[in-house]
Chain A
Amino acid sequence: MRHLIDINDLSIEEIDRLIAVADDIIADPQKYAEVCHGKKLATLFFEPSTRTRLSFEAAMMELGGNVLGFSSADSSSSAKGESVSDTIRVVSYYADVIAMRHPKEGAPRVASAVSDVPVINAGDGGHNHPTQTLTDLLTIHREKGRLSDMTVGLCGDLMFGRTVHSLISAMSRYENVKFILISPPELRVPDYITQTVLKRRGCEYEVAESLDSSMEKLDILYMTRIQRERFFNEADYLRLKDTYILDTDKMALGKPDLSVMHPLPRVNEIDTAVDADPRAAYFRQAKYGKYIRMALILMLLGKEI
């Protein structure tokens, strides 16, 4: 039984294959319109989400499959105290594949241990969000035509930002990718990421506090939101939330072929005036999320086209 819990569950070859399938879906969506006819995706969202849940559901619908599930823990039996394992055991009798978001870190790993069908981690607290990473990789591939030989700037909350950790982990496996890690000192990338990923894989990286001085070096700028829900202390959140705001002045410092990404939702870390800049790739990124999830569902259901 194949699951996707952590982006490192996939080899580079598998990621490249998923990206190739996503490219093909974009080129010829009609070819895939009935591939999952009769199959059901359960979206089990114990925590609210807009993009991830809807993109999973849209992905399955565009493959000709059906969708069932819930969008908050309040509307599931977990509100009555049911364990993750029990919920998943039951749902795996009703669906062919499960996409699951849970506020507790490691919940999808627990689910995968008892499920009779593939489990996809659609985000577990501040821990992993592998389909966002796949979305990010497809976006970089679509924007740049490659996943190697570039400088990637990651800006904002690099400590609690799960998308950042997964993206570093995934991109560090490609050749000649340099990282510039831009954050306030309190929100730097955790040591285990620098120790177990960047240093071990011999990646060049730079720790910075200024977005302005980093702009000219970047091929990709990955902005993140400083997330209120990850802080135990409201005062810390309020002090740090406006540290970086990308506006048109800062964009003027960037390369002409820079691509700006953001996992969304944004609050105010990207000024809406930047949206009109063709280098703003974050809405295209959200669109690619559906295609890569289609490719992933196909892979986990063993559908070769």
Chain B
Amino acid sequence: MNIDSINNGIVLDHITAGKSMQIYKLLNLDRLDCSVAIIKNVKSSKMGRKDIIKIDEAIDVNLDVLGYLDPDITVNIIRNGVRIQKLKLSPPEELVNVISCKNPRCITTTEPQIPQIFYLSGEDKPVYRCRYCDSERK
């Protein structure tokens, strides 16, 4: 399968297989007018299978969203057909209006104008907790 290489834009590589559609939605890539390619289940020597997203425009990508969803993703910035930057991600310390609290007792469930803020709780694995009620986002 051939997908054209891009000239100016972004390539999200090493996406865990199956997560590309979720990333597509959370990054609002559906709102772009440029070409966006989602390539699923690509063979990978390191990961077995992986997904790739190619965006044919130099947009600002919300790295916090990517770091939350899949910190192993590599973000490649392409200019004039050349990769000029390769970003490694890590789980962000704080997420604002990316995910929402599901605790029915939380104040955010009755007052939707409150920003949804989650913090990275220092536990054995990366866990995000609501800034207001401390519930874990599962």
Contact = CB atoms under 8 A, between A and B. Distances in A.
A140 interface: no
B124 A195 contact: yes
Contacts of B130: 106
A200 B122 CA distance: 9
Interface residues of B, number: 23
A126 B105 contact: yes
Nearest to A190: B136
B121 A106 contact: no
A109 B114 CA distance: 11
Interface string A73-98: 00000000001110000000000000
A50 interface: no
Given A83-B111, A110-B132, A127-B133, A104 B122 contact: no
A125 B107 CA distance: 10
Given A105-B132, A106-B133, A196 B108 contact: no
A277 B114 CA distance: 49
Contacts of B108: 106
Contact of B132 (A85, A109, A126): A109
Nearest to B136: A192
B131 interface: yes
Interface in B73-129: 103, 105-111, 113-114, 121-124, 127, 129
A103 B113 CA distance: 18
Contacts of B109: 104
Contacts of B113: 83, 85
Contact of B122 (A106, A107, A196): A196
A102 interface: yes
Contact of A84 (B103, B111, B127, B134): B111
Contact of A192 (B110, B123, B131): B123
Given A192-B123, A195-B123, A195-B124, A106 B136 contact: no
Contacts of B135: 105
Bin the interface of chain A by size. 10 to 19
Contacts of A109: 107, 131-132
B124 A127 contact: no
Pick from A104, A127, A192 the residue with the most CB of B within 10 Å: A104
Nearest to B101: A106
Interface string A48-84: 0000000000000000000000000000000000011
Given A83-B113, A196-B121, A110 B107 contact: yes
A83 B130 CA distance: 19
B134 A104 contact: no
A85 B110 CA distance: 12
A104 B110 contact: yes
Contacts of B121: 192, 196
Interface in A168-222: 192, 195-196, 200
B105 A110 contact: no
A105 B131 contact: no
Given A106-B106, A110-B111, A127 B134 contact: yes
Contacts of B132: 105-107, 109-110
A84 B109 CA distance: 13
Contacts of A102: 107
Contacts of A126: 105
12 contacts: A84-B107, A85-B113, A104-B110, A105-B103, A105-B106, A105-B134, A124-B107, A125-B133, A192-B129, A196-B121, A196-B123, A200-B122
Name the 5 nearest CB pairs between A and B, nearest first.
A106-B132, A105-B133, A104-B107, A106-B107, A106-B133
Interface of A: 83-85, 102-107, 109-110, 124-127, 192, 195-196, 200
